[in-house]
Structure 1
């Protein structure tokens, strides 16, 4: 059995093969974060028929690679970054950080200290959680947009606009506004607010 430690980054991933019995690093490779490079990484790994992947922060920057590997029958262990940090402190590198040391440390920690946790394939519960998160984000974005629209209308219309208003009603109302002067043309994001004593700007 060979452990394949992976240190994932946003644009690149570095993997190191470690022999568990001797903790000797056998080989390493760095790939770009892309599907064609994932295939190259898997081809590199197949020189060891018995292998286990140990990925630092598998639910973070390594999530896409990890799920890609699991979908192809690979066994993957998630290793927390705090565990690889402890190994770096005890390594000959004296705590210095580089991708190969981190990748090898992840593999070593997973085997020796039992800090790793096997990662399972994402299922329908994960998909539902993602959909719920996106729904919440969209709802929050809508609230922000509506609040910004009402703030702008308060600045351009006496009394502002009705609280309950459809998108078509808001568009029709905006078409009736004729800003008077440079400040009103800039709107509420301009350098200074319009004096409240000024008259209406509709025609």
Structure 2
């Protein structure tokens, strides 16, 4: 098993292959942080069929590369920067720092000191978290549009409009208005635009709920067996 240590930086990553049995540095490669360069590094690493990646700060600067590798079936462990710093302090020329040494140190720490933690691929729970955040943003956008529409209808209709407006109900109310003058015409036009936006948010929210339901079903959760709990709540 060859360990490939990664020292990640914002614009470049350095990889160093280290044999854990001999602690010998076999080869090193520096790449730019692009998808094409990620592929070049993976192609380079395939010369060692049995390999594991040790990424320094895999949940920080190394997060994107780590996710990319995991998605392609690679084994990845996370090595804390404090652990690689300790290796540098104990190595010859204590404290000296360069990318190749850091990357090799990450692999050495993972192999010899047991400070590395396996990183798991993203799963349905991660996808659900993304969908949940998206749903929250969609709902907030819809609420803003409804509030703006309510304010416009209040100015256009005697007695205003109900607070809980659907797109269909708002359109019915707007159809009763015959605007006169530039201000009313502008309010009427903006209200029509907002109704169209609300319909768009409604479609996106329904699509979001369907995607959530598919992932909840995939996870084989039993929560939806409980009366009153649907996929979104689950």
User: Where on the TM-score scale, by shorter chain, does this alignment land: which range?
Assistant: 0.5 to 0.7
Q: Aligned in 2, Cα 1:130/1:57: closer, same or farther, shift over 3 Å? A: farther
Q: Which residue is 2:49 aligned to?
A: 49
1:125, distance to aligned residue in structure 2 (A)? 1.2
Determine helix, strand or coil for the equivalent of 1:54.
Answer: strand
Q: Using a 3 Å threshold, how does the CA distance of structure 1 residues 168 and 37 change in structure 2: closer, same or farther?
A: farther
What residue in structure 1 maps to residue 18 of structure 2?
Answer: 18
Q: Determine the C-alpha separation between the residues in 2 that align with 1:122 and 1:38.
A: 19
Alignment-derived partner of residue 166 in structure 1: 148
CA offset digits 1:127-185 (Å, max 9, x no partner): 23344456668899x8xxx9xxxxxxxxxxxxxxxxx9526748x99x98xxxxxxxxx
Structure 1 runs (4+) greater than 3 angstroms displaced: 130-140, 167-170
- Alignment length (residue pairs): 153
Counterpart residue number, 2:82:
82
Tell me how far 1:50 sits from its aligned partner.
Answer: 1.3
Structure-2 residue corresponding to 1:70: 70
SS state at 1:13 partner: strand
TM-score (norm. length: structure 2): 0.58
- 1:122 and 1:22, CA in 2 relative to 1: closer, same or farther beyond 3 A? same
Structure-1 residue corresponding to 2:7: 7
Question: Partners in 1 of 2:71 and 2:10 — Cα distance?
Answer: 21
Aligned CA-pair RMSD: 2.6
Structure 1 unaligned regions, length at least 5: 147-163, 177-203
